[in-house]
């Protein structure tokens, strides 16, 4: 079983888009793919259960159906920083619990994509950050780089933090956040020159109103992270 941890240079940078697109790509090649988002905020009650759009997108594009309580052990209704919500509710965001859930799920799939929350160093409370979660899972990391002004600095800092955590950068994906970014190709070349992992794809600005359609389109711009 192969697995990866997906993080981003910021929040709202396309982690779910790319994670779901990877799951779709892998499923389309006949693999058992399963997406996990251990921490999520922003949900609504439907039929007596909290539903989060990102979590549901991963589930729709996975070829395996996992236990929702294992896939997302920490789900908050309000759309806010999870460590703040956890502190308010007296909840501890425990990487060890997430790691145990991951181990319980891994035999169900050929590939697992674990989507982080926010950027790599997002606070998780009790002095922990997203880096602690990635370390607990001990998975190679895919970095989603939001292509906009400031992307180079954010990407290089994130890559340095990933390496400082003792983790391998499996690859990175450029996601065109700013359609009018000046010198876009030069910025991409700088990322290729400076980042230690391979580029797994560059996703143009996608304007389809339907999330599933954007995910379908994004999958066509990605390469298999474990090819070869």
DSSP code for 23: H
SS3 call for 14: coil
pLDDT tens, residue by residue, 189-207: 999 999 999 999 999 999 9
pLDDT tens, residue by residue, 19-39: 999 999 999 999 999 999 999
pLDDT tens, residue by residue, 85-135: 999 999 999 999 999 999 999 999 999 999 999 999 999 999 999 999 999
> Which pLDDT belongs to residue 132?
97
Q: What is the 3-state secondary structure (H, E, C) of 186-206?
A: HHHHHHHHHCCCCEEEEECCC
Residue 228 has pLDDT above 80, yes or no: no
> Which pLDDT belongs to residue 172?
98
Provide CATH code, domain 2-219. 3.40.50.300
pTM, 2 dp:
0.97
Q: Measured in Å, how far apart are the chain's first and last C-alpha atoms?
A: 15
pLDDT tens, residue by residue, 56-95: 999 999 999 999 999 999 999 999 999 999 999 999 999 9
> Which pLDDT belongs to residue 48?
87
Domain boundaries of the chain, sorted by first residue? 2-219
Q: What separation in angstroms does the CA of 181 have from each of 19, 151, 205, 206?
A: 24, 10, 11, 15
> b/e for 83-96, b at 16 or more Cβ within 10 A?
bebbeeeeeebbbe
Active-site residue numbers?
37
> Which pLDDT belongs to residue 52?
97
Residue 227 has pLDDT above 90, yes or no: no
């Amino acid at each position: 079983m192969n697995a990866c941890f997906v993080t981003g240079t910021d929040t709202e940078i396309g982690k779910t888009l790319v994670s779901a697109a990877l799951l779709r790509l892998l499923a389309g090649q006949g693999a058992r793919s399963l997406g996990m988002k251990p921490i999520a905020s922003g949900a609504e009650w439907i039929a007596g259960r909290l539903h989060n759009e990102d979590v549901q997108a991963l589930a729709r594009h996975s070829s395996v159906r996992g236990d929702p309580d294992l896939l997302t052990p920490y789900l908050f209704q309000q759309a806010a920083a999870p460590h703040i919500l956890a502190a308010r509710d007296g909840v501890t965001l425990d990487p060890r619990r997430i790691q145990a859930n991951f181990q319980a799920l891994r035999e169900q799939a050929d590939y697992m994509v674990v989507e982080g929350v926010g950027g790599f160093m997002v606070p998780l409370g009790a002095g922990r950050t997203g880096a602690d979660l990635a370390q607990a899972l001990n998975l190679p990391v895919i970095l989603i780089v939001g292509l906009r002004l400031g992307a180079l600095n954010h990407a290089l800092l994130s890559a340095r933090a990933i390496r400082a955590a003792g983790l391998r950068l499996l690859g990175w994906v450029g996601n065109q956040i700013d359609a009018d970014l000046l010198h876009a190709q030069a910025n991409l070349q700088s990322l290729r020159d400076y980042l230690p992992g391979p580029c797994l794809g560059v996703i143009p600005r996608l304007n389809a109103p339907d999330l599933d359609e954007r995910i379908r389109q994004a999958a066509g711009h990605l390469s298999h992270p474990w090819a070869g």
